[in-house]
Amino acid sequence: MGTTHRITKDFHRLARTIESFSDGQAKVILGDDDEKDRTETFFRFEVDIMPNGGPYQGGSFRFEFCVEKECQWPREPPIIRCLTDIYHPNIDHLDRDDCSNVCVSVLDRDVWSADQCDFETCVQALLFLFYQPNFDDALSPVCCSDEHFQELVQISLKGGTIDGFQFRPNKGRINNILEEIT
């Protein structure tokens, strides 16, 4: 099976099954540029994660998945970047644009297994981070302690300032408030 066919097949499987395996907490986002992105040497798409429990409940977080060289899929993990401001120990929103800003073991090249990992594995790992943040392997310099964690997550979702960083109000939280009002 050709690499381009494999990555397209894996993406379409994810798009078909993401809402069921994530219990409605994740969905693939298709934009105007997606078809263009898939015809180049890289493959890119976005996923929204909307936790239905835990400290991030009510928030909506967008992640970009990028496979820079289709010929490497699935031998190498995708680059995954959180595009939404987030207060999380394992997601560094201040990180560079050319590498993952998410710290979860399955994305490590030494752990990634082409036989056992795919886009679904990545989404499940992201969901896991929302329910089980790992303070022992913190990536974010802003969020590196579990002291007052849940309170600080709520401040960040509302658009507050933490350690000198001003978070933008989370769109999922704003939409939930608007639904309650109407």
Report the catalytic residues.
Answer: 103
Burial track 21-39 (b if 16+ CB lie within 10 A, e otherwise) = ebeebbbbeeeeebeeebe
Query: Looking at the chain, which runs of residues are DSSP E strands?
Result: 26-29, 43-49, 61-67, 79-82, 161-162, 165-166
Report the SS3 class of residue 87.
coil
CB 140 within 8 A of CB 90: yes
Bridge partners (DSSP) of residue 80 are 65
